[in-house]
Amino acid sequence: MDLKQKLIDLSREATGDDTITVAGDFQPKGMTWKIAVGAAAGSVLGEAVGGDVGQSIGAMGGYTTGKYAATSGELPPVIIVAASPTRLYLMTSNNAKGIIFARHLLLIDTLDRDNLSVEMHQRVTARTAVITDSSTGHEYKIEGKRILFHHMNDMLDALAA
C-alpha cells in the first residue's frame, strides 16, 4: 500500500472524517538535531572510555538521550497531521514507532482551520512548522524529515495555502 494513502485512510478511520484529503508524518520540532548531537556526544565520550565498543554504546546512549530530550514536551515522537477542508487533526501512531508499523492512529487534537496561522521554515534536513490556534493561543511545533520516505510535503503545502 502507498504510504501516503495509508496516512489518509488511517486518519479518516481515527477521526471519522471522510473529507480528509491530505496527511503527513512529522515529529516534534528540534528532534533531528537533538538526536544527532546526543549521538555524537555519546560517541565521543564512549570512545574515550572504551574504544570502539564504548563508542558504539555511547552513540546509542546519546541517541536515546537526544530522543528523550526532544519528546519530553507535549507531543509524542510520531505525529500525524491530516487536513480536511475545514479541520486540521493531530494524531499519533498506536505504537509510537512510525507510520509503517501503525495499524491505528490516536487523536491528539482537532483544530478549526479558520483559526490557524502557520509559520514554516526550510532547514537542511527538515522542514519546520509552527501551527498556532488563534482561538486558544496554543502552538504546535513540528518538523518533517526531508530524507527517506516521510510524507509531509503535501501536508505542508496544504497548510501554506
Position 37 confidence tier, pLDDT thresholds 50, 70, 90: very low
pTM above 0.75, yes or no: no
Instruction: Name the percent of the chain lying above pLDDT 70.
Output: 57
State the chain's mean pLDDT as an integer: 74
pLDDT tens per residue, range 2-35: 878 888 999 999 999 999 999 988 878 655 544 4
Question: Cell 513540528 appears where?
Answer: 142
- How far apart (Å, rounded) are the C-alpha atoms in residues 113 and 2? 27
Rounded average pLDDT over 43-68: 54
Cell, residue 9: 485512510
- For the segment 97-101, the average pLDDT, to the nearest whole number, is 67
The secondary structure of residue 135, as a DSSP letter, is T
For residue 113, is it left (φ>0), alpha (ψ between -120 and 50) or beta? alpha
Give per-residue pLDDT as tens, 57-97: 555 555 455 555 545 456 777 888 999 999 999 998 877 56
